[in-house]
């Protein structure tokens, strides 16, 4: 991890809600253990962790550019960690079961956040960039890019620029 990301991570951790932090630690310990034993697992975690790290660095003022995937992971992940931290404080759970419950919960939350980020890119950002931000694209490219978004909102009219 780049030094500026590491420093931003430390700053962010100091501001974190204690319940969210407890929920984060409940699954992060298991992830780190797996990363230490599997390079392939480490590579997979990096695909999720780096967008989050860039968004967090943006929030801390260490980077100018934000990450949509990272922002989505932050929103969903913070909520998931809040729930995990709250459950840990209120529901006694045997230590032999806890890692499995945490793994399932984390997988569901991270999968959901990745799907939300993909959805936003496909149906919101990409069509907007093509329609309004890229003058080099052809009309047919712009129309083709807007079709999923127009279908999604049920519109049958299309403006071709």
CA distance 3 to 97: 36
What tokens were used for 36?
A: 């230490």
What tokens were used for 65?
A: 């550019």
pLDDT at 101 over 80: no
Mean pLDDT, to the nearest integer, of 111-140?
65
Of 69 and 158, the one with more pLDDT: 69
- Reduced to 3 states (helix: H, G, I; strand: E, B; else coil), residue 113 is helix
User: How many helices and strands (H and E) does the chain possess?
Assistant: 7, 0
Helix, strand and coil content of the chain, in percent to the nearest 5, comes to 80, 0, 20
CA distance 27 to 85: 10
Which pTM value belongs to this model? 0.58
pLDDT at 158 over 60: no
pLDDT at 10 over 80: yes
pLDDT at 43 over 60: yes
State CA 124 to chain mean position distance. Answer: 17
CA distance 4 to 58: 11
pLDDT at 157 over 50: no
CA distance 103 to 26: 10
What pLDDT is stored for residue 17 in this prediction?
92
Whether the CB-CB separation of 82 and 19 falls below 8 Å is answered with yes
């Amino acid at each position: 991890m780049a030094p500026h990301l590491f420093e931003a991570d430390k700053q962010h951790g100091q501001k974190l809600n204690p319940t969210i932090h407890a929920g984060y630690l409940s699954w992060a310990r298991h992830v780190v253990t797996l990363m230490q034993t599997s390079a392939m697992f480490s590579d997979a975690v990096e695909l999720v962790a780096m967008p989050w790290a860039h968004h967090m660095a943006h929030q801390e003022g260490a980077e100018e550019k934000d990450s949509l995937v990272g922002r989505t992971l932050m929103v969903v992940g913070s909520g998931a960690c809040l729930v995990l931290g709250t459950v840990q404080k209120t529901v006694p759970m045997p230590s032999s079961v806890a890692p499995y419950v945490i793994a399932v919960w984390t997988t569901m939350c991270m999968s959901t956040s990745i799907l939300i980020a993909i959805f936003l890119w496909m149906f919101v950002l990409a069509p907007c960039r093509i329609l309004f931000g890229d003058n080099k694209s052809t009309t047919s490219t712009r129309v083709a890019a807007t079709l999923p978004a127009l279908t999604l909102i049920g519109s049958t009219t299309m403006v071709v620029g």
